Homo-oligomer: A and B are copies of this chain.
Amino acid sequence: MTDERRSFRREPEEKRREALIAAAQSLVAEGGPQAATVRAIAARAGVTAGLIRHYFQTKDDLTRAAYLALMDGMTHANTAVLDTVGDDAELRLAVFVAASLRPPVMAFDRVGLWAGFLHSVQQDAALLEAHEAGYLGYRDTLQGLIAALDRPAMSAQLRSDAIACNAVIDGLWLEGSVIPHAFGPDELPRIALRSVGAMLGVDLLAHAAIALNLPLDDPKPDADPAAPFDETME
- Which residues of A does B touch, CB under 8 Å? 30-35, 108, 111-112, 114-116, 118-120, 122-123, 131-132, 135-136, 160, 163-164, 166-172, 174-175, 178-179, 182-183, 187-188, 191-192, 194-195, 198-199
Contact A111 B119 (CB under 8 A): no
Describe A's contact surface by its main secondary structure: helix
Q: A115-B115, A195-B199 are in contact. Are A172 and B167 (CB under 8 A)?
A: yes
User: Out of B33, B120, B191, B199, which one reaches A163, CB within 8 Å?
Assistant: B191
User: Out of B32, B122, B167, B194, which one reaches A175, CB within 8 Å?
Assistant: B167
Nearest B residue (CB) for A195: B164
A-B interface, 4 closest residue pairs, ranked by CB to CB distance from nearest? A167-B171, A32-B119, A170-B171, A171-B171
Contact B111 A118 (CB under 8 A): yes
Q: How many copies of this chain does one complex carry?
A: 2
Can you sample 29 A-B contacts with CB below 8 Å? Answer: A30-B119, A31-B119, A35-B119, A108-B122, A112-B122, A115-B115, A115-B116, A115-B119, A116-B119, A118-B178, A131-B179, A132-B179, A135-B182, A160-B191, A160-B195, A163-B175, A163-B187, A163-B188, A163-B191, A164-B172, A164-B191, A164-B192, A164-B195, A166-B171, A167-B168, A167-B171, A168-B195, A171-B174, A198-B198
Q: A34-B34, A119-B115 are in contact. Are A166 and B160 (CB under 8 A)?
A: no
Q: Which residues on the B side are within 8 Å of A111 (C-beta)?
A: 118
Q: Which residues on the B side are within 8 Å of A114 (C-beta)?
A: 115
- Please report the C-alpha to C-alpha distance between residue A169 and residue B191 in the assembled complex, in whole angstroms: 15
Q: Which residues on the B side are within 8 Å of A135 (C-beta)?
A: 175, 179, 182
Nearest B residue (CB) for A163: B191
Q: Which residues on the B side are within 8 Å of A188 (C-beta)?
A: 163
Nearest B residue (CB) for A171: B167
- Please report the C-alpha to C-alpha distance between residue A198 and residue B168 in the assembled complex, in whole angstroms: 13
Shortest C-beta distance, A205 to chain B (Å), equals 11
